[in-house]
Amino acid sequence: MHFSEQDIENLDKVYRINLINSCSGYKSANLIGSVSEERINNLAIFSSITHLGSNPPLLGFFLRPTEIIPRHTYLNIKENSYYTINSVQLEFVDKAHHTSAKYDRKISEFDITKIKSEIINNFPAPYVKSSSVKIGMKFVEEIKINYNKSRLIVGKIVELNVDDNLITNDGFINLSDAKIATISGCDGYSFPKSNSRKGYQKPQKS
């Protein structure tokens, strides 16, 4: 099936959203925890969290200009600077996906979904208690993408909490052991069962 630039532009809106959201492959599944000045906790699912570098340790995510859900996360990050990134796992995937519903800012998705929050070491944003990987983030930079007015939010990892048994000797976190989700498209969830490591590659000698 071949789609030209014009074909894509002419597609039915929902069809285009599903097609373009799934064509680039699997995405990360994470819940961002944040808190407003009025101390209302927010929880929202994101599929765009991306590794930007290990030293300094940076993660980024994208916000659409017109989306309503992530705006609460954005406002909270601008107000408080700190937020958390938490893995999504099989046991609570339905609750996690439901955080994408458009609730009023006064309503906490922790309350609605009954996903339990957790404060660790007085970190100034709420973690998800059941997540095996919990990342404490500090906002460092916001970058506007001119072409579609979306924003890249860059944060630094300032603490990291990982279930002990998931980390191998060389620091690699075994996501499949924790039944961590991956997202495809807008609403497809998979739980990879196994994992094979290919190692560092050197050029073949000719």
- Which is nearest to 172 in space by CA: 137, 150, 199, 146? 199
Q: What minimum distance in Å lies between the beta carbon of 150 and its own copies?
A: 6
Asked whether the beta carbons of 89 and 179 are under 8 A apart, the reply is yes
The whole-angstrom separation of Cα 199 and Cα 25 is 22
Q: What minimum distance in Å lies between the beta carbon of 127 and its own copies?
A: 12
- Please give the size of the binding site for its own copies, defined by CB under 8 A: 111
Q: Which stretch binds its own copies (CB under 8 A): 36-44, 75-83, 101-109?
A: 101-109
Residue 54 DSSP code: E
**Choice from 10, 20, 79, 91 touching its own copies (CB under 8 A):** 20
Judged by CB under 8 A, does residue 27 bind its own copies? yes
Q: Which stretch binds its own copies (CB under 8 A): 35-43, 54-62, 71-79?
A: 54-62
Q: Which stretch binds its own copies (CB under 8 A): 35-43, 74-82, 186-194?
A: 186-194
Q: Which stretch binds its own copies (CB under 8 A): 34-42, 73-81, 184-192?
A: 184-192
The whole-angstrom separation of Cα 201 and Cα 206 is 15
Q: What minimum distance in Å lies between the beta carbon of 109 and its own copies?
A: 10
Q: What minimum distance in Å lies between the beta carbon of 80 and its own copies?
A: 17
Helix (H, G, I), strand (E, B) or coil at 175: coil
- Written as six digits, the tokens of 137 are 């983030």
The whole-angstrom separation of Cα 22 and Cα 162 is 29
Query: How many other C-beta atoms lie within 10 A of the C-beta of residue 173?
Result: 16
**Choice from 106, 122, 147, 205 touching its own copies (CB under 8 A):** 147
- Written as six digits, the tokens of 181 are 């989700």
